[in-house]
Structure 1
Amino acid sequence: MHGKMALWISKGLWTAAEMMILVVLNIPVAEGRDSPQDFVFQFKGECYFINGTKRVRLLDRLIYNREEVLRFDSKVGEYQAVTEVGRSIAQSWNRQKDVVERARAEVDTVCRHNYQMEKSSTLQRLGKHCLWIFGLPSPSLSWVPARPSTVGVASPVGPRLTRWMGRRGQGVGVGTGTPPPPGPSS
């Protein structure tokens, strides 16, 4: 390439994000407006694991100016438009079987791969955790969602206790003793 610039789109997780940038940046021009000077484009790839890697879900989100316009959900297996801007992009990408197959494969090539990498360093250190939720007796607060409760998490550092009133935490404490005795849970 003598003096010419070429666009190279890599294969992998960022392909969709790179393509989306090009498409979204051209939308205002196509509508007869100037391109925005300031804009935010985000790509968010999320991996959800249930029971280790036995059930894995990949969710890729393409966001333009705080608005999700397109997503790929591995449970669905294709791109889905969230807004009108994403509709033509989703249709175009779903027609390209190699693009869809690559996105489907990222459950293994990205999520499961990264899980194995993190498992050796992070997940092994955490040890086993337990979660206890106990209701605190309070005759004056009979409405169940507003009842105070205690949440305790056992970790290698020691149990952490948080007292809750409805959905707002009232205080956080760290304890090293045994968890509170079982009672009616809320």
Structure 2
Amino acid sequence: MNQKSISSAQSIPSTQQLVYIALFAAMISAFALVPPIPVPIVPVPVTLQTLGVMLAGLILGPRMAWLALLLYVGLALLGLPILPGGRGGLAVLAGPTGGFLVGFIPGAWLIGLIAGRARQLSGPMQFARYFVACVLGGIVLVYVIGAVWLSFVANMELMKAFLAVLVFVPGDMLKAAVATVVAARLARLQLLPHSR
């Protein structure tokens, strides 16, 4: 088997990895069933989806998390009613939440990338690394993409859009803490899947 064949075989997810990818896409869909909480000052509701994004990144690693979110977003855009409020379809991209949805994909990848190096750590250092990964990938990156999209779709000044999404920070920091605790516990029990 030549080097090209080996690298090609390594790029194909195993059956076990496909199960994890599908499982996390389904979990995020289940989180979307929790009724969204409207926010008066911005046309984007509070949902549990970001918790799913953070958990996917921390638990699956960058590649599988990226694929899980790509699957979830792809199914939603194909029309499956798996977004908060039972929405789905390409029209979602024309709305104010479209940027956040798209941002979940690179957000999960970044979380997995940063957290991947923390698997060998333990205790407070691992916890801190997981939490920072959630903040940078699940909050900062998703907010930047979401705010730029919101500014464009809602014809809002960019700075105003950035300030508007700051209302989500306290809730998302809490989600980051929950995801960190769950992932750190799974790591301690050696239950995290091997990611590539």
Please indicate the TM-score interval, normalised by the length of the shorter structure: 0.3 to 0.5
Which TM-score applies when normalising by structure 2?
Answer: 0.31
The alignment's TM-score, normalised by the length of structure 1, stands at 0.32
More strand by share: 1
* Structure with the bigger percentage of helix: 2
Higher-Rg member (1/2)? 1
